[in-house]
Chains A and B, each alone.
Chain A
Amino acid sequence: MAAAAGGGITWSVLGKLKPPAAIPLLVGGVFLLVSLYWNFTAFRTFLGKRSTRYGFNLAVLVLVTLGIISLVVAISTKYYKRWDLTEGRRYSLSLSSKKFLATLKVPVKLTAFYRVDQEGRSSLEELLKQYRNIYSGFDFELVDPDRNPGLAKKYQVTSYGTLVVESGDKQEKVFESNEEVITNAVLKVSRAGKKTIYFLSGHGEYSPANEQRQGYSTAKKVMDEVNYQVKELVLMKEEVPADASAVVISAPKQDPLDQELEAIKRYIDKGGNIFFLLEPFATPKLAALLKPYGLILKEDIVLDRMSRLFGGDYFIPVVTSYKDHEITRDFNMATFFPTARSVAIEAKPPAGVTAKELATTGSDSWAETNRKLLEQGKARYDEREDSKGPVTIAAVSVAPIKEEGKKGQARLLVFGDADFASNAYIGLSGNGALFLSAIRWLVEEEELITVRPKQAEFTPLFLTRIQGKLVFWLPVIVLPGLVVVCGAVILAHRRRLG
């Protein structure tokens, strides 16, 4: 029997039935059988004894009970209720997230790249458990990028605290770990259908079908990768389609016709999103169209001395500083805008309109208005005519919808240059990233879910000296002391009695 046991142990340790384990096992087995045969009668009596039978019964009973318990556990794991009694329901997902998750049908996987000792890891895990609790199709994994460089590389994770959300063939990367960001990422990867972006055509625009230097075919590829569909829009023939998530006007060589401009205005009034990429000294009517939205486009071109440092000439303004906006948050790459015009925001925009600057050139730049001098190659900063840098070359304006009873906004994104995202320059430095960030911001709107942060009030505690003493004496000395004294009294009393 010992041999059999030894063999059994060796087997479990080695994990395989290799010769060292097999032999003692076999030998032990043989011994067992032999002893069984020799002591057969004794064995039989043993089996028959009441105590053995009782023991056997007991074992069965215990196993059955364990079985019942396991069943109960299994059922309770599937059908359970959870009450979050904390103030503000800190440990549950918000109602809006829950409502959204209830509509989900596709599996979603979230991979969070957090160092093992990173701050916020455990509270993130708690939060993600909530998602899994509510929606069984949600799965998550916390990965330490230092210990799993392969996985980090696969998702191109470059910073700690990156979360990658995937569903099907869609992927979304976010860098914040709060409920709102996560829920929206899940929303973006799980929704069916693609967003459609229409490029205005018919006026010599930079076309997504064009693979030459002034084409936007690379930009189109970038948009394909994030599941945006790119189509052409001929406004002379039709209105802006209802399924348009955004319209891009990429530097037409001439102004659109008046009726097209009207159609564009109508689209904006209905809450449309437009990306204007306008080249200098062109399309004055389009420039004028932007005035009611707080954006001023002058007839100028931005000259930047800093671009010489980067090996370009004065006509490629460099932007290294960005204003605070969702598009440019955490953006720290330089961007280059060959032949750009200024985009200024009005100090006092019309009611309801909010205009913000996005990107400005350095102080060594200015917006030159004198075309004659430019053509002669003798342009210089002239205080009277030109505006001194920093010059804004990208801005955003948000206007309210002008439709009865409807709420929402129209988003206008205006860049004073179209070349930065053209095939020739989109791969340069941060150009591609900026373009993508901009178009993504433009396209996402009402669907996104807002989650109100649930905070319990912070009630600070400032103990006075007396309070401090009380707080020590009462619980630590008085209460236990009382108990002991009571006890002593009672026991003494009993002893006296008998």
Chain B
Amino acid sequence: MKGFFPVFKRELRAYFSSPIAYVVLGMFLAISGYFYYNNLSLFSLISLQASQNPMLARQLNFTEMILNSVFRNMGVIFLFLTPMITMRLFAEEKKSGTIELLLTYPVKDLGVAMGKFVSALALLIIMLALTSLYPAIMVFLGNVEIWTVLAGYLGVILMGASFLALGMWLSSLTENQIIAATVTLIVLLFFWVIGWAATFVDQAMLRQIISQLSLPEHLENFAKGVIDTRDVIFYLNFIVFFIFLTLRSLESRLRRG
């Protein structure tokens, strides 16, 4: 995979030399942090009631109640931030003309695509690493199920990577960053909302298929602390498919150029 590292380094530097990374990181952390704080205080409120009501207490779980929805929320937030991250991956290059440079260098398309993808992924991982503050705080406050938390992070990483792959491909289709960002948002929303649409379908088989296409659907298990290979494979498939499409799109650009 020639060219992977140079591209990767270049992209990462580009992210952090522009306000983008910091704005995205900051927003993500602020909003996620707020959801986290909310859940924590809610749990604290309910704890009082639950200590007098054993039935209620049985349904409450420290790790799960607080972090479960935090993971889901992170998914939503990331959905809106992805366009901002991926829009510049390819679109900008085309406009500034550097894409010819890139594509004619002795680097393979795969290296380019992977380099860009992994750089965006690195941004995601840094974001999530910073949120480890949340479970860290909880360790001092109660009994945290480490493995459940790790499963949740794994899920968010996989889902986030899926978003990024899709965004990257869409970015490779157009010259205009704004268009890339907008279309990415719309398509991501489509994959998010498709799960709801499934509930309107009566036929059981069709409903199953449609809901399986939904990105957040597969996060559910991870957020609960269950790792199911089927969910992992779904996300991996998604990622691979859109990287594949990106490669095809790059290829065609070369031809047309």
Task: Please list the residues of chain A having a beta carbon within 8 angstroms of any beta carbon in chain B.
Answer: 54, 58, 61-62, 65-66, 69, 72-73, 76-77, 80-87, 90-92, 455-463, 467-468, 470-472, 474-477, 479-481, 483-484, 486-488, 490-491, 494
Contact = CB atoms under 8 A, between A and B. Distances in A.
Interface in B226-244: 226-230, 233-234, 237, 240-241, 244
B4 interface: no
A487 B37 contact: no
Interface string B213-257: 000000000001111111001100100110011001000100100
B93 interface: no
A479 B141 CA distance: 19
Contacts of B63: 87, 456
B30 A480 contact: yes
B62 A462 contact: no
A474 B50 contact: no
Nearest to B249: A58
* Secondary structure call for the B interface: helix
Contacts of A87: 63, 145, 148
B96 interface: no
Contacts of B47: 460-462
A483 B130 contact: yes
In order of increasing CB-CB distance, the 8 nearest A-B pairs are: A487-B22, A475-B33, A85-B147, A460-B47, A86-B225, A480-B29, A459-B142, A480-B30
B151 A459 contact: no
A24 to B, nearest CB: 28
A456 B40 CA distance: 18
Contacts of B21: 487
A133 B229 CA distance: 13
Contact of A85 (B51, B61, B143, B148): B148
B29 A475 contact: yes
Contacts of A484: 22, 26
A307 B131 CA distance: 72
Given A458-B50, A491-B19, 14 more contacts: A81-B229, A83-B228, A86-B147, A456-B63, A460-B142, A461-B43, A462-B47, A463-B41, A476-B33, A477-B30, A483-B130, A484-B22, A491-B17, A491-B18
A461 B44 contact: yes
A476 B34 contact: yes
B48 interface: yes
A488 B25 CA distance: 13
Interface string B1-26: 00000000000000011110111011
A483 B224 contact: no
8 contacts: A54-B255, A82-B228, A86-B147, A86-B225, A457-B143, A461-B62, A474-B33, A480-B29
Contact-residue bracket for chain B: 35 or more
B147 A479 contact: no
B143 A471 contact: no
B133 interface: yes
Contacts of B37: 471-472, 475-476
B147 A458 contact: no
Nearest to B140: A467
Contact of A483 (B22, B44, B142, B244): B22
B48 A455 contact: no
Contacts of A80: 228-230
B150 interface: yes
B58 A455 contact: yes
B191 interface: no
A72 B237 contact: yes
Nearest to B256: A51
A460 B143 CA distance: 9
B36 interface: yes
B224 A475 contact: no
B223 to A, nearest CB: 11
Contact of A475 (B36, B43, B227, B244): B36
A463 B48 CA distance: 11
A73 B233 contact: yes
B122 interface: no
Contacts of B142: 459-461
B40 A461 contact: yes
B64 interface: yes
B61 A456 contact: yes
A401 B27 CA distance: 69
A92 B227 CA distance: 12
Contacts of A480: 25-27, 29-30, 33
A61 B50 CA distance: 58
B102 interface: no
A69 B224 contact: no
B137 interface: yes
Given A61-B248, A460-B47, A460-B51, A474 B145 contact: no
B133 A479 contact: yes
Nearest to B21: A487
Contact of B224 (A62, A86, A491): A86
Nearest to A453: B58
A491 to B, nearest CB: 7
B83 to A, nearest CB: 20
Contact of B225 (A84, A462, A474): A84
Nearest to B37: A472
